[in-house]
Chains A and B, each alone.
Chain A
């Protein structure tokens, strides 16, 4: 009977119910987006860091990986020492630099990573293969498009470019053997990877043995934080960053996003709450007489409250999945815009869908639906019956 009355009441004013559901859906979509935004970047970055299985990153003291052009002197020795530790399974050293490629239209500059292809963790191959010799490289789509080169082509490159003489320094001829998707590079950023020794050789003697970053994979079950502390003691000239530490850094940098998301999320929740409260209040005011009659014939107050709360909750429940879909579509669109954020890795998602985010949003909405129904229903069910009936009869 409770369901019949609640459903009948919603169906009686179809247009209003549909509009209310649409309104709440928009509010739900915004709430979901804000919940996704508040934690999305962190989760996305965390999954990016863990995706290749390296738990620790060693960078020059006081820097974050590739934040500066600083490198670690005697990097190869450090890598050997790391590999000698029983706690360590693998080490992937990376040496960063620039690559300049001469084309018919001029010089194209690109980021370059010197890696050991067998243990690299900076890119994924979408076609082709890893460099197998010193004169092979992989490139991403942006670089291939800019140079007009294809897999199998040979390109003339340098590690430096004299703009006055318009000549390359540290020249090499490399063959492109793979198409790569760099994990930490921005969407439009041109990128290439080649054997670490090749890149160092191109940069000259100063680059010998240097690394910009070393990624460390630990034995499964190893205490990451204690190993991190041990490595910092062992290598006082480097900063050892665990994923947890990196995420902490991300948290600091994305605090503006979090604040924005929390404020806008709260606003959308309040808007949804007020919308439902207003609609329920209007609906209840139209039925004051009906409610007074129900009370007069012996329907308990809580039953009337339950019926109206059920109506409000039903609107929320119908609106929630609509809002969920709308929120996901909106998030996808916004993500595609924000993916072009300067310097942001292409694979970072600002709006990262997690089931928990959806449940949080739906839970908050359901709760606000219940709360939205309680006040107007309790107020109407508490009106003096005799006076209300008299006013209804006169009205």
Chain B
């Protein structure tokens, strides 16, 4: 199986007064195409920093990141934006839906940005809402949806442009246990349908659902295990 994600000697330091604090201290790993990896570890271990670098919304101090064989660690702002739009799907802990837009319009947002026509993006958004089980809620605004429903819309939005990889940052962090379980099932279905997923989580159930668990501590990988 080819590597979807190739991370080499990744270092991320932040200036803190006169000093520099390292959030990542030389992280190296690969994620295969179609894999489902959970990155786990205590708070402050560098999980989210790593996810930001994988998602091309931050730049490493040193080291490289390649997604689908393309180096993404030193892209210009414009190219990084384009890459995120077409190759990466983001799911956030707090859903971060546009409150002014309906569920369907939220999904249409990246589709419109990618240049899809009105009818095509409406059809695609409806199909994705059906996929996450919210076909009947397309006209509802985020404030009219439950937390679980909002996260489903966020997942549908992440899938809008058929990304190579979906990155999720604590996707069950704001959900109750039952809704969290539904979300875990949705991620499993997503992965079974061929989407590569990397999820950062404290949720043991979610981590166990992944095929692979990468353990981090103090900015380095301290364990990497296949779940099944």
User: Which residues of A line the B interface, CB within 8 A?
Assistant: 1, 4-5, 8-9, 11-12, 289-290, 293-301, 303, 384-386, 389-390, 392-393
Q: Out of A8, A297, A385, A392, which one reaches B100, CB within 8 Å? A: A8
Known A-B contacts A1-B108, A385-B57; A297 and B101 likewise in contact (beta carbons under 8 Å):
no
- Residues of chain A within 8 A (CB-CB) of B55 are 296
Closest chain B residue to A10 by CB distance? B100
Contacts of A390 in B (CB 8 A): 48
| Distance in angstroms between the alpha carbons of A9 and B98 in the assembled complex | 10
B109 within 8 A of A: yes
Question: What's the minimum C-beta distance from B4 to chain A, rounded to whole angstroms?
Answer: 18
Cβ of B17 within 8 Å of any chain A Cβ, yes or no, is no
Q: Is the CB of A385 within 8 A of B58?
A: yes
Is B81 a contact of A300 with CB atoms below 8 Å? yes
Q: Which residues of B contact A1 (CB under 8 A)?
A: 105, 108-109, 112-113
Q: Which residues of A contact B99 (CB under 8 A)?
A: 12, 290
Of B93, B99, B100, most A-chain CB atoms within 10 Å: B100
User: In the complex, given contacts A297-B90, A298-B82, what are 14 additional A-B residue pairs having Cβ atoms less than 8 angstroms apart?
Assistant: A8-B98, A11-B100, A12-B99, A12-B100, A294-B98, A296-B57, A297-B84, A297-B157, A298-B84, A298-B88, A298-B114, A299-B81, A301-B77, A386-B57
In the complex, whether B92 has a CB less than 8 A from a CB of chain A is yes
Asked if B65 is an interface residue, CB under 8 A from chain A, the answer is no
Question: CB-CB < 8 A to B86: which residues of A?
Answer: 298
The reply to whether the CB of B85 lies closer than 8 angstroms to some CB of chain A is: yes
Q: How far is the CB of B85 from chain A (nearest CB, A)?
A: 3
CA of A390 to CA of B114, assembled, Å: 26
CB distance from B110 to the nearest CB of A (A): 5
Complexed CA–CA distance, A386 and B94 (Å) = 14
Contacts A297-B84, A297-B157; A5 near B100 (Cβ below 8 A): yes
Q: A298 and B57 in contact (CB under 8 A), knowing A4-B105, A393-B93?
A: no
- Kindly identify which residue among B82, B83, B84, B98 contacts A5, using a CB–CB cutoff of 8 Å: B98
> What are the residues of chain A within 8 A of B82 when measuring CB–CB?
298, 300
> Contact partner of B58 among A294, A386, A393, CB < 8 A?
A386
A298 touching B85 by the CB < 8 A rule? yes
Which residues from 154 to 211 on chain B have a C-beta closer than 8 Å to any C-beta of chain A? Answer: 157-158, 161
Q: Measuring CB to CB, which residues of chain B are less than 8 angstroms from any residue of chain A?
A: 48-49, 52, 55, 57-58, 77-78, 81-86, 88, 90, 92-94, 96, 98-101, 105, 108-110, 112-114, 157-158, 161
Q: Which of B48, B81, B94, B101 lies in contact with A8, CB distance below 8 A?
A: B101
B94 touches A393 (CB 8 A): yes
**A1-B109, A301-B81, A303-B113 are contacts. A296–B58 as well, Cβ < 8 Å?**
no
**CA distance in complex: A298, B109 (Å):** 9
Residue of A nearest to B78 (CB): A300
Q: Give Cα A303 to B101, complex, Å.
A: 17
Q: Are A4 and B101 in touch, CB under 8 angstroms? A: yes
Contact between A293 and B92, CB atoms less than 8 A apart: yes
A1 to chain B, nearest CB (A): 4
User: Which 6 residue pairs are nearest across A and B when measured between Cβ atoms?
Assistant: A298-B85, A8-B100, A386-B52, A386-B58, A1-B112, A385-B57
Complex contact B92–A389 (CB within 8 A): yes
- Can you list 22 pairs linking A and B with CB atoms under 8 Å apart? A1-B112, A4-B100, A4-B105, A5-B101, A8-B100, A8-B101, A9-B100, A11-B100, A290-B98, A293-B96, A294-B109, A296-B84, A298-B114, A298-B161, A299-B110, A301-B78, A303-B113, A385-B52, A386-B49, A386-B58, A390-B48, A393-B93
CB nearest neighbor in A for B157: A297
Query: A289–B113 contact, CB under 8 A?
Result: no
In Å, the complex CA distance between A28 and B156 comes to 45
